[in-house]
Amino acid sequence: MDMTRRAVALGGAGLLASASFLPANALESPLFDPVEAADDFWLAVEAYIYGYPLVTTEMTRRVVTNVAKPEGSKGPMGHVIKLREYPNASFKDVTAPNADTLYTTAFVDVGKEPWVLSIPDMKDRFFLFPMLDGWTTVFQVPGKRTTGGGAQAYAITGPGWQGSLPDGVTEYKSSTGIVWILGRIYCDGTPEDYAAVHALQDECKLCPLSAYGKDWTPPVGKVDPSIDMKTAVREQVNRMDAVEYFTLLCELMKTNPPTAADGEAIAKFAEIGIVPGQDFDKSKLDAAFVSRIPIMAFHRIMLHFKFSDGDIQNVNGWGFTTKTGIYGTNYLQRALITAIGLGANRPQDAIYPTSLKSRDGLVSRAYHGSNKYVVTFPKGQLPPVRGFWSITMYDENYFFVDNPLNRYSISTRVSPKANADGSTEIYIQNESPGKDKENNWLPAPKGKFILMMRLYWPDDSPPSILDGSWLIPPVKKAG
Residues 6+ apart with CB under 8 A from 182: 103, 105, 129, 130, 131, 132, 343
Q: Average model confidence (pLDDT) for the chain?
A: 90
- pLDDT reading at 13 higher than 90: no
Percent of the chain clearing pLDDT 70 (strictly above):
91
Q: What pLDDT does 225 receive?
A: 97
How long is the chain?
479
- Average pLDDT (287-293) is 92
Across 289-356, the runs of DSSP E, i.e. the strands, are 313-315, 318-320, 350-351, 354-355
- Average pLDDT (423-432) is 96
Q: What is the pLDDT of residues 26-78, one digit of tens each?
A: 333 334 455 445 789 999 999 999 999 999 999 999 999 999 999 989 999 99
Q: Which pTM value belongs to this model?
A: 0.89
Q: What pLDDT does 243 receive?
A: 97
C-alpha to C-alpha distance for 92 and 97, rounded to whole angstroms: 9
C-alpha to C-alpha distance for 413 and 189, rounded to whole angstroms: 9
Q: What pLDDT does 32 receive?
A: 46
174 vs 7, more confident: 174
Q: What pLDDT does 29 receive?
A: 36
Cα 476–Cα 477–Cα 478 angle in degrees, nearest 5: 110
**Which of 207-211, 334-338, 343-347, 356-360 is predicted least confidently?**
356-360
Q: What is the pLDDT of residues 87-141, one digit of tens each?
A: 889 887 777 888 999 999 999 999 999 999 999 999 999 999 999 999 999 999 9
- Average pLDDT (135-154) is 98
Q: What is the pLDDT of residues 184-218, one digit of tens each?
A: 999 999 999 999 999 999 999 999 999 999 999 99
Query: Which domains, from first to last, does the chain contain?
Result: 5-59+231-303 (1.10.3360), 67-211 (2.60.40.1610), 340-477 (2.60.120.600)
Q: What is the pLDDT of residues 447-479, one digit of tens each?
A: 999 999 999 999 999 999 999 999 999 999 997
- pLDDT reading at 22 higher than 80: no
